[in-house]
Amino acid sequence: FQVIYDLKSRLRNHRAVVPPLRGIGFQYGFNQQQVDPWVQYWTEQYDFKQREKFLNKFPQYKTNIQGLDIHFIWVKSGWVPAGVTCVPLLMMHGWPGSVREFYEAIPLLTTPTDGVVFELVVPSLPGYGFSDGAVRPGMGPAQIGVVLKNLMNRLGYKKFYIQGGDWGAIVGNAMATMYQKEVLGLHSNQLIIMDSGTEVQTLITGVMAAMQLQSNEFDPILSAVVEETGYMHILATKPDTVGIGLSDSPVGLMAFILEKFSTWTHLEDRSLKDGGLSLHFTRDQLIDNLMIYWITNCITTSSRLYAEAFSNAYRALGIDEFPTEVPTWKLEAENENIFVQEVNMKKFPNLMGITRTAAGGHFLAFELPKIFAQDVFKGVKAFRKFHEDNKNCKC
């Protein structure tokens, strides 16, 4: 438990922070007045032993794929009632999340619903959590997709469904493009297309679904882009520099990550003193995720994915210039911070449906697991009907 002793020592002895400006919530980032309450809770009230037991509640494994030890949760189906079909689902997280995002949704997805139950494979993406990071440049979303396709094959799944958000959605897009015979359906709560044109479009017009690009709305959109995408430019260019500081200070890591859980869950919560964190998550939930980043020292390796994905070498692959015939379902949370307009859906000619929620943000499985799980079932039901109608496979 030396790592816990070291963590508590760093938390207790952190340098005093500069006071926030008067009347400010999270508009300038994580509010300094929130530092001490969070540090106090993490140090004195967060039950490390109980949380460790909680985080180990699902079966977890490691296997070596292409030289990388890949960590994954694997919830296999036990006894399946008559009339219920068990189908494999690969679920992928993003940044600055982890497999922890899915803990509340896993029991819901492994409960038979409408004649279907899922056998879940939930990996830590390479460079995240307990999965190894690459040792040389080039591990972008498509390359991660190759690793995870091989993981699914190793586990005995020749064909499978995919669910992803954030980087998990981008990896899912790549897999659905490269492996159109193996991927039975792609359910995504963030259908991001990363060709050069839509990267610029997303950067300029994205941010919030409610902010459509109209002439009279350009100024607030541009303002929001300037205020909320700075992290992306840093991580896409110099992830190792910021990683040095964040891997040395748990308080810095906490502020950097929790600020994203505030603004990406509900942008308007920036005006609140605590960033609205207490409205959507418990402290234990958020610290669980922080613990995964701190214990594994993965903030640098996870952040490198931005640099790889935005590199000239990766864009030269042109993954999103090719359409995919894989049936797709889009889950669009009301407060999602990135909005892909309908014009970009030409990549997905078999877009089966779009669900627009009346609540929730970027971390939907974490924030509203019931809504998330219900929509996954809904999407897979549509995928199965698509295959049945097209006689493509027995799935």
Catalytic residue IDs: 166, 306, 362
Helix H segments across the chain?
A: 2-12, 35-40, 48-55, 106-109, 141-154, 167-178, 196-205, 218-228, 230-237, 239-248, 250-263, 277-280, 283-296, 299-309, 312-315, 364-367, 369-390
Neighbours of 111 (CB within 10 A): 11
Reported residue count of the chain is 395
Long-range contacts made by residues 23-26, C-beta under 8 angstroms, separation at least 24?
A: 25/269, 25/270, 25/271, 25/272, 25/273, 25/274, 25/275, 26/259, 26/262, 26/263, 26/269, 26/270, 26/271, 26/272, 26/275
The DSSP letter of residue 66 is T
Instruction: Kindly report the backbone phi and psi dihedral angles of residue 106, in degrees, each rounded to the nearest multiple of 5, phi listed first.
Output: -55, -50
CA angle, 256 then 260 then 262, to 5°: 120
CA 308 to chain centre: 17
- What are the Cα distances from residue 140, in Å, to 302, 313, 389? 11, 10, 35
Question: What's at 182, amino acid-wise?
Answer: E
Specify the 3-state DSSP secondary structure of 84: coil
- What are the Cα distances from residue 189, in Å, to 86, 268, 315, 337, 364? 23, 20, 23, 11, 8
The residue assigned the tokens 């139950």 is: 117
Is there a contact between 260 and 303 (Cβ–Cβ < 8 Å)?
Answer: no
